[in-house]
Structure 1
Amino acid sequence: MLTYNNTSEIEPLESILGQKRAIDAMEIGLRINNPAYNIYIAGESGTGKTTYAMKALDKYASQKDNHKDWCYVYNFEHPREPVAIGLKKGLGKIFKKDIEKLIETLLDELVDAFESEDFEIGKNQLIEEYEIEKDTLLKKIKKYGEEKGFKLKNSKVGMVFIPIKDEKEDEEKTDEEEQKADEEFYKVKRELESMAIQVVYKIRDLEDAAKEALLDLEEEVAKFVIDPHIELLTEKYKGYDKVKKYLANMRKDILEYVYLFYMDEEELKDKYDKEHFTKYKVNLFVDNGSDKKSSSAPVIVEMNPSPSNLFGKAEYDYYNGGVKTDFTKLIPGAVHKANGGYLVLYTDQLLRYGLSWDMLKRTIQSRKIGVDTQTSIKPESIPIDMKVILIGNNYMYNLLYNYDADFSKYFKIFVDFDNEMDKNDTNEDGITRFIALQCNKNKLKHFTYDAVQEVIKFSTRVSGDNSKLSTEFNKILEVIIEGDAYATIRGVEYVDKEDVKVAINERRKRLSRIESKMDESLENGFTLIETQGKKIGVINGLSVLNMGEYSFGRPSRITVTTSPGNKGIVNIEREVNMSGPIHNKGVLILGGYLAENFAQEFPLSINAYICFEQNYGGVDGDSATGAELYTLISSLTKIPLKQNIAVTGSMNQKGDIQVVGGIAEKVEGFYSTCKRKGLTGDQGVIIPKNNSRNLVLSDELNEAIEKGMFKIYQVERVEQALEILTDMSFDYIKKLTVDRLREFSKIKNESK
């Protein structure tokens, strides 16, 4: 046990408190590297499950170093299927800059190369060679035509041969000579035309050859500029086959469209797609190298797990009345960012998106993820290696386990946070250290020893068990913060016991509006509750009302009337649909107890009507079954019951009294009622004996019990409770009950 004057003298709490089972489960879940061993963390709000989960994940994340950077690049072979490239973390940004620098450099160097003197000389030389060969062909055919008497002339339709006029043509010729001359003329003309056609084809071949030679020269110059840079990057990224293939395909594409690299910018905009160069960009999709904690695996918490937030999306541009996208507009989701590490999701948020849950299961199963672009582009999937941590409550866990067949396949580790822990020195010291931690963390005044003991008492009260402490640290933290506020108001250096008490009481006041209204109704006589005297067929049962985070006990007047008949026990609340299934079950149990203990020699013939008086909100639970039995027997036997003693306790068909919940609130509720109507010293409550450890009562009530002003009776059987309520032996009560039931049975038989 720690010894200290105030919490500034002790070491703050560094670990989670009172959750060994949960910690062991979390540890094994994080150690197992298997895609099916994802983790579900369950527990009440405020038990520290999220805080612990994040600390544990940070610890294990610091020991993992296999996460990567991911880039999407243009697919030169299949343009609609962007290629995913995984790189060592930190290398993605470098790769992106390298490609940007490559394109910028090529734009400059290719312009210089194609505007250089050497290129112009080589280009002009090829053109000159073409022109020489072309002239040679034309001169040759021209000369031959002249020898044959024809002159070559160019026209719109091509080369035309015109006959050269000969003086001999003026001489008169015989018809035979004229015919022979015409035949010779057309023969030569046809020969020349045939030769002209051949020359045209040869010139075209020369043009094609010249163009091919120019392209070869252009490619040779381009390769001279491009290859050193490509080779340099290929060597730099030699460990990445996808990068090498990408660079090789990029080289081919640049060579094919090299003219765009030295084309005038205005001409490029006019004649070609201005976004052509987008294909040479790199989309740094996931960058794990920029974060200060890049040496640790990513731990991603997604608070709004919509499909796009989890699995990425593509942004769009509006273009000619439609939408347009490309690989540079792909946006990663939380799953992409968590790749190589841990993804934390809150179950209640995740299940709001049914599609997200289905996609998450498919991702875990396939171990890969793409980007759902809902367009014609289909990005290559990325292999996934991550562990999913779902944080929720036990109710959600049970729903998923029972109604989703895939859940148990993929979430094999259940981390169950308890809302209570054993009350021992170790855990009390833990709460003390927790207070020290919060005081340091939130810059609060430190707590004195007595103030800490008051907080521990409050923790026990929250747990509802004298042998337990609560692990709902959010409630404890509220008392710590508010205790500091009241100490500040008093102007003292440390938070003392009284400050904690004021914080607890004031908090209760803020939340107790409904309780105050019910007390006012009691004082004004609107609510009929007697705390003195005796009545037949009337008893004060105890119930708990829950108003959000605040709960309080109230006595409820239960009445029973009986008569001969065959309706059995009638639950009036059930008849008007104001009774829950557990309460209905409890009422049916009464019939079983009556039949076994009082009606073995004759048929049970009774009409018994049970009612919770002035109940307008419904009733459920079985904690009133004992009280209902005592009231039923009182109505049958006409033995009055004490109104100064209230009753709670479930019972079974054999008459055993069973534990119930909210026992402290129930006892305090009846004490408060008695106090308002006047304490007499003989008032008290009957509770199940096994509930004794749950009597975490207020200081005022404990003091009243010690002074004999209020009593608590602990029973194990209904017989004990009846004797306390009537001051009669159970044998006598049983005899009267049997006689009365026998009389009912006789009346019923005679009425047939």
Structure 2
Amino acid sequence: MKFKTTAELEPLKEILGQDKAINAMEFGLSIDDIGYNIYISGETGTGRTTYALEALKNYSRQKDSHLDWCYVYNFENPHEPIALSFQRGVGRKFKKDVDALADNILSDFRNILNSEEYEKERNQILTNYEIQKQMLIQQIKDYGKEKGFNFKSTQSGIVFIPIDENVDSNSKEFLESKIEIENMTIGIISKIKQLEEDAKNKIASLEESIAISVVDPYIKSLIKKYGKNSKVKKYLLNMREDILNNIYIFYMDDEELQSIDEREYFLKYKVNLFIDNGKEKNIKNAPVVLELNPIYPNLFGKVEYENDKGVIKTDFTKIIPGSIHKANGGYLVLYINELLKSPYSWDLLKRTLQFKKIQIDTATSMKPEPIPLDIKIVLIGSQYLYDLLYYYDEEFSKYFKVLVDFSTEMARNEENELKVARFISNYCNKMNLKHFTYDAVQVVLKHSSRLAQNRKKLSTRFNKIKELIIESNLFADRRNSEFVDKEDVKNAIYEKINRINKIEKKLDEMYQNNKLLISLGGKKIGVINGLSVISMGEYSFGRPAVITVTTSPGHKGVINIEREVRLSGAIHDKGVLILGGYLLENFSKEVPVSITSHICFEQSYSCIDGDSASSAELYALLSSLSEVPIKQNIAVTGSVNQKGDIQVVGGVTEKVEGFFNICKIKGLTGDQGVIIPKNNLDNLVLTEEIENAIKNGLFKIYPVDRIEEAMEILTDTTFEQICDRINKRLKKFYEMSK
């Protein structure tokens, strides 16, 4: 790499070290099928979410199926609001036009009702009615006089009074005349009522014609503008019919309107703009939605309610969209662990995918019309959760066919080293931080390999690299330096460890005060220094563990003391049982292996698991059987199989460093070291202090492939001699056990 500082480099903006994942993501996004949703697995900090959102943002430019959605009143079934779809940006225009409709009709209708022309036509109808009514009443009066009666109107009706006060009211002629006049009056009143009804019908017809003349231009205008959608056209025609059927509301004055619930009545002529994709700057880009809290209402929407004097009310304008509605036509990103925490959300998501419709379930009789589903769902989670869902949820593999697996490491080569430097350059620019010198980048690269636990790899957990960049800047600031140098990075690494290594320091103190017993010199039979790793959150460190073995004649075989007291895990138990297999394979050809052997981790008071101490246990067992002492200045790690091959183990760097630190506390002698599996060499990424100690001959690493090699290093005795001593002793044990 040819640069002095990262300021000279072109910033890296693409994802790094995830070629396989990128190919899988592109494959999944290229298939438009409801079953090809995507599951992104990998560890936190590998850039899963950042990459997913960036990739979806790029693909969103190619997808063009997202729509605006409105919920409107259903005039045929008020409990089932209708969902109407529109092209992007049209939904808000439709809402504006329809919301203004009722106000415009009310205003126009009142203007006409207050006009002279309307008053004239209405008064003409009423005048004609009055004239005809008076003519009929006059007929009654005239006929009454003809028969000798006067006409008089009272609250109880029409009364006929004889003109001649002396007439005999009981005479036949009087009674017949009175009955005749009353019958005629009944007929005339019936005609008057008919005239009144006709006048009312004429006024109603006049108002209806006015209403049609007012309403139809608005409705026709809306149909012309939005009526290409047959569903919208039907809604507008139903609205027209409802307005005309209830036109009396529109000619109420303000005082009369206050006597009814004006808002609730006119609400059915409003529009709920449910999804507005026209408000975005790039409305052509399909929506990309990240839902961090996928509880049911956030994911699938809800219906809000209001308390009106103790009565719970709701309506179609209170239907609220969920993130799946907002992402419809585009992409929805969810964290699977959060999704599974929320009751019902996971099952309802699968049901939505199955029926390809988004249904809002409510606690009332309101059932909003489902919206068709057009979406690509991206789940982000661990490999562990993916495996659980794949094996225990038969529907999971049906709807999530694409696995995008993020790796935690990448090859350490010149190309990737330069890309990491460019990544540092980009992050420094983005966060306005000091740039790194060439030497500082080298320290970051080594730290990255340490995170990957492999000298030939670099970590892709870039959140850890970001933390190191930020913290290194702090130390550069303290020096008032223009750039971050290697010492700043080293200080940042050291200080972070120093903040979280309280337990390690406590153990160091116990070794120093001889509260934890360990020998780092001389030789002992059946005693060896094994190595273990202690994990404390994000920090792990290695520590030696004194392993002792005793043997005697008997038939119980190899006894794991930790197992007997239930302080041993299954993998550790397996490792101990392998020791018995190795003994039978190599030492039971002449006589049966008749021993009782006890293996113990001294001063260990917590559960032990893993098989990385199995080789150390075997060395101590062979030492005890052969009575050949083992060097205490060499610690051991490695797994062993029944054939005597040394197998790789985890945490080899921490184990070597842990033993080195104890040696440094007790005093480096120059002959101390660690035996490790040869195949673990690439996993060693040691601190600069230990590297220098090795170069100066103060500390040694012994890579081995076989038990024989390690035993000769530990005892300075040939393995053939050791085996000869073991066979002789086993024969003695056999004779004694008989």
TM-score range, shorter chain: over 0.9
TM-aligned CA deviation for residue 167 of structure 1 = 6.4
CA contact (8 A) 2:295 2:343 kept: no
Q: Residue 122 of structure 2 aligns with which residue?
A: 123
TM-aligned CA deviation for residue 731 of structure 1 = 2.6
CA contact (8 A) 1:459 1:470 kept: yes
TM-aligned CA deviation for residue 113 of structure 1 = 0.7
TM-aligned CA deviation for residue 27 of structure 1 = 0.9
Instruction: Decide whether aligned partners of structure 1 residues 739 and 144 sit closer, same or farther in structure 2, where only a CA change above 3 A counts.
Output: farther
The alignment status of 1:110 with 2:109, answered yes or no, reads yes
Q: Distance in 2 between matches of 1:619 and 1:460?
A: 28
Q: Distance in 2 between matches of 1:168 and 1:250?
A: 67
Shifted more, 72-81 versus 245-254: the winner is: 245-254
Runs of 4+ in 1 over 6 A off after TM superposition: none
Q: Residue 631 of structure 2 aligns with which residue?
A: 642
The alignment status of 1:550 with 2:539, answered yes or no, reads yes
Q: Residue 659 of structure 2 aligns with which residue?
A: 670
TM-aligned CA deviation for residue 342 of structure 1 = 0.9
The alignment status of 1:434 with 2:434, answered yes or no, reads no
TM-aligned CA deviation for residue 557 of structure 1 = 0.8
TM-aligned CA deviation for residue 507 of structure 1 = 2.0
Q: Distance in 2 between matches of 1:724 and 1:544?
A: 24
Q: Distance in 2 between matches of 1:304 and 1:417?
A: 23
Q: Distance in 1 between matches of 2:123 and 2:691?
A: 112
Q: Residue 450 of structure 2 aligns with which residue?
A: 461
Shifted more, 534-543 versus 493-502: the winner is: 493-502
Q: Distance in 2 between matches of 1:491 and 1:316?
A: 59
Shifted more, 17-26 versus 651-660: the winner is: 651-660
CA contact (8 A) 1:68 1:288 kept: yes
Which runs of structure 2 are paired with 1:68-467 in the superposition (5 Å)? 68-141=67-140, 143-144=142-143, 147=146, 153-159=152-158, 169=168, 182=172, 193-272=182-261, 274-467=263-456
2:467 pairs with one of 475, 478, 487: 478
Q: Distance in 1 between matches of 2:177 and 2:674?
A: 139
Q: Distance in 1 between matches of 2:576 and 2:202?
A: 104
Shifted more, 656-665 versus 504-513: the winner is: 504-513
Q: Residue 20 of structure 1 aligns with which residue?
A: 19
- What letter corresponds to residue 58 of structure 1 in structure 2? K
- What letter corresponds to residue 583 of structure 2 in structure 1? L
CA contact (8 A) 1:70 1:84 kept: yes
TM-aligned CA deviation for residue 31 of structure 1 = 1.4
Q: Distance in 1 between matches of 2:422 and 2:136?
A: 104
Q: Distance in 1 between matches of 2:261 and 2:427?
A: 66
The alignment status of 1:653 with 2:642, answered yes or no, reads yes
Q: Residue 582 of structure 1 aligns with which residue?
A: 571
Aligned Cα RMSD in Å? Answer: 2.2
- What letter corresponds to residue 446 of structure 1 in structure 2? H
Q: Deviations over 1:359-378 (max 9, x none)?
A: 11112222221323322211
Instruction: Decide whether aligned partners of structure 1 residues 163 and 575 sit closer, same or farther in structure 2, where only a CA change above 3 A counts.
Output: farther
Shifted more, 15-24 versus 481-490: the winner is: 481-490
Q: Residue 5 of structure 1 aligns with which residue?
A: 4
Q: Deviations over 1:230-282 (max 9, x none)?
A: 21121111322232222222222222222222312222122455421111111
Q: Deviations over 1:649-674 (max 9, x none)?
A: 11112221110011111111111111
TM-aligned CA deviation for residue 593 of structure 1 = 1.7
TM-aligned CA deviation for residue 101 of structure 1 = 2.5
Q: Distance in 2 between matches of 1:289 and 1:645?
A: 72
Q: Any idea what SS the aligned residue of 2:69 has? A: strand
CA contact (8 A) 1:537 1:560 kept: yes
TM-aligned CA deviation for residue 337 of structure 1 = 0.8
Q: Residue 28 of structure 2 aligns with which residue?
A: 29
Q: Distance in 2 between matches of 1:738 and 1:165?
A: 161
Which runs of structure 2 are paired with 1:698-709 in the superposition (5 Å)? 698-709=687-698
Instruction: Decide whether aligned partners of structure 1 residues 122 and 742 sit closer, same or farther in structure 2, where only a CA change above 3 A counts.
Output: farther
Q: Distance in 2 between matches of 1:535 and 1:684?
A: 17
Q: Distance in 1 between matches of 2:158 and 2:574?
A: 114
Instruction: Decide whether aligned partners of structure 1 residues 205 and 569 sit closer, same or farther in structure 2, where only a CA change above 3 A counts.
Output: farther
The alignment status of 1:50 with 2:46, answered yes or no, reads no
- What letter corresponds to residue 284 of structure 2 in structure 1? S
TM-aligned CA deviation for residue 159 of structure 1 = 4.3
Q: Any idea what SS the aligned residue of 2:433 has? A: coil
TM-aligned CA deviation for residue 191 of structure 1 = 5.4
TM-aligned CA deviation for residue 541 of structure 1 = 0.5
Instruction: Decide whether aligned partners of structure 1 residues 497 and 204 sit closer, same or farther in structure 2, where only a CA change above 3 A counts.
Output: same
Q: Distance in 2 between matches of 1:193 and 1:600?
A: 141
- What letter corresponds to residue 314 of structure 1 in structure 2? V
Q: Any idea what SS the aligned residue of 2:103 has? A: helix
- What letter corresponds to residue 345 of structure 1 in structure 2? L
The alignment's TM-score, normalised by the length of structure 1, stands at: 0.94
Q: Residue 682 of structure 2 aligns with which residue?
A: 693
TM-aligned CA deviation for residue 16 of structure 1 = 1.0
Shifted more, 280-289 versus 239-248: the winner is: 239-248
Q: Any idea what SS the aligned residue of 2:635 has? A: strand
Q: Distance in 1 between matches of 2:198 and 2:18?
A: 84
Q: Residue 173 of structure 1 aligns with which residue?
A: none
Q: Deviations over 1:198-220 (max 9, x none)?
A: 44444433333332222111111
CA contact (8 A) 2:640 2:646 kept: yes
TM-aligned CA deviation for residue 720 of structure 1 = 2.0
Q: Distance in 2 between matches of 1:277 and 1:235?
A: 23
Q: Any idea what SS the aligned residue of 1:250 has? A: helix
The alignment status of 1:510 with 2:499, answered yes or no, reads yes
Identity value in percent = 57
TM-aligned CA deviation for residue 133 of structure 1 = 3.6
The alignment status of 1:729 with 2:718, answered yes or no, reads yes
CA contact (8 A) 1:544 1:662 kept: yes
Instruction: Decide whether aligned partners of structure 1 residues 629 and 129 sit closer, same or farther in structure 2, where only a CA change above 3 A counts.
Output: same
Q: Distance in 1 between matches of 2:696 and 2:84?
A: 80
Q: Any idea what SS the aligned residue of 1:255 has? A: helix
TM-aligned CA deviation for residue 619 of structure 1 = 0.9
TM-aligned CA deviation for residue 424 of structure 1 = 0.9
TM-aligned CA deviation for residue 192 of structure 1 = 5.1
TM-aligned CA deviation for residue 742 of structure 1 = 3.8
Instruction: Decide whether aligned partners of structure 1 residues 192 and 560 sit closer, same or farther in structure 2, where only a CA change above 3 A counts.
Output: farther
Q: Distance in 1 between matches of 2:597 and 2:254?
A: 99
CA contact (8 A) 1:268 1:274 kept: no
Q: Deviations over 1:62-98 (max 9, x none)?
A: 2223211111111111111111111111112211111
- What letter corresponds to residue 662 of structure 1 in structure 2? G
Shifted more, 573-582 versus 659-668: the winner is: 573-582
Q: Distance in 1 between matches of 2:3 and 2:150?
A: 126
Instruction: Decide whether aligned partners of structure 1 residues 190 and 437 sit closer, same or farther in structure 2, where only a CA change above 3 A counts.
Output: same
- What letter corresponds to residue 744 of structure 1 in structure 2? F
Shifted more, 110-119 versus 121-130: the winner is: 121-130
TM-aligned CA deviation for residue 194 of structure 1 = 4.8
Q: Distance in 2 between matches of 1:129 and 1:221?
A: 21
